[in-house]
């Protein structure tokens, strides 16, 4: 696969403070990549450098084959950016807003198609100011994808969504990924990263401390499991790297243990361990 993003030795320094301290990062074309980290970790700075909105101090950055620091309008038209907060044209209707932004791109998607994709067909004639928070967020996404971007940046896309709206939004992201769009997602919701991302990276204090699939991040897949069960002697707990073997041994005499559970570290537990160790 070709790389949509390639970063080597990226640094962003301010007087008396290093926001990003020399990170390396690769994102493949068509991949959904989640960048996780606490507030102030360097996520936003990194993403803004990739978007071409902030200058770096040092390092090499290649996004869709160009340096964001010097790339022009044609390159920017290949990106879609959905900010955490956006100032919209509240007096315009949904259709008017999307149609207006479509004019900025050389080969935009069909307006009605985009409005349908983000689930706002029934609200196409409604003024943006009349929409709920979740519906306004969908307008933001419509504006982010109207130009047929090859790479979409999503900054905390479901903040404030109710559970049903979040699941609907996830399906929209999956549909974009199925079309081959590369997506860089920042989120504080670990279940969102686990549901959507092909790979994740954890950044804290300006450094990437772990990278991998949601299932393998920080050694999750091979981490020690906690096995709990009960028998005639009471409740038991044992930690092991081989839970299946332990369960077979428990059942060797023909008696099945009751209340049997096997627990490996969740993505959230692994994430909290990683940022805790880095502090």
CATH architecture type of domain 3-218: 3-Layer(aba) Sandwich (3.40)
Distance between CA atoms of residues 170 and 158, nearest Å: 9
Mean pLDDT of 102-117: 92
Closest CA to 248 of 262, 232, 234, 265: 262
Domain layout of the chain by residue ranges: 3-218, 224-263
Higher model confidence: residue 110 or residue 229?
A: 110
The pLDDT of residue 122 is 94
> Strand ranges (DSSP E) for 15-150?
17-28, 32-36, 58-63, 79-82
Distance between CA atoms of residues 271 and 273, nearest Å: 5
pLDDT in tens, 131-141: 888 888 888 88
Buried b (16+ CB within 10 A) or exposed e, 61-73: bbbbebebeebee
pTM score: 0.82
| pLDDT the model gives residue 277 | 60
pLDDT band at 276 (very low <50, low <70, confident <90, very high): confident
């Amino acid at each position: 696969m070709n790389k949509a993003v390639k970063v080597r030795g990226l640094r962003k320094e301010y007087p008396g403070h290093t926001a990003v301290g020399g990170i390396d990062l690769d994102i493949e074309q068509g991949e959904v990549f989640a960048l996780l980290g606490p507030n102030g970790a360097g996520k936003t700075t990194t993403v803004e450098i990739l978007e071409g909105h902030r200058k770096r101090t040092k390092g090499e950055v290649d996004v869709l084959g160009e340096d964001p620091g010097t790339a022009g309008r044609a390159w920017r038209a290949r990106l879609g950016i959905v900010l955490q907060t956006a100032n919209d044209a509240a007096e315009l209707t949904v259709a008017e807003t999307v149609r207006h932004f479509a004019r900025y791109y050389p080969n935009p998607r069909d307006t009605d198609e985009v409005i349908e994709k983000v689930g706002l067909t029934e609200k196409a004639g409604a003024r943006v100011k009349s929409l709920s928070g979740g519906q306004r967020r969908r307008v933001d996404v419509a504006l982010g994808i109207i130009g047929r971007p090859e790479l979409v940046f999503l900054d905390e896309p479901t903040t404030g969504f109710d559970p049903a709206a979040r699941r609907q939004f996830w399906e929209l992201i999956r549909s974009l990924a199925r079309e081959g769009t590369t997506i860089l997602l920042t989120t504080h919701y670990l279940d969102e990263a686990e549901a959507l991302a092909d790979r994740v990276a954890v950044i804290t204090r300006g450094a990437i401390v772990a990278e991998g699939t949601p299932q393998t991040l920080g050694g999750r897949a091979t981490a020690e499991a906690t096995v709990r069960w009960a028998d005639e002697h009471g409740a038991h707990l044992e930690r092991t790297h081989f839970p299946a073997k332990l369960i077979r041994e428990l059942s060797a005499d023909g008696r099945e243990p009751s209340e049997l559970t096997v627990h490996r570290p969740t993505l959230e537990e692994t994430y909290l361990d990683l940022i805790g160790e880095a502090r």
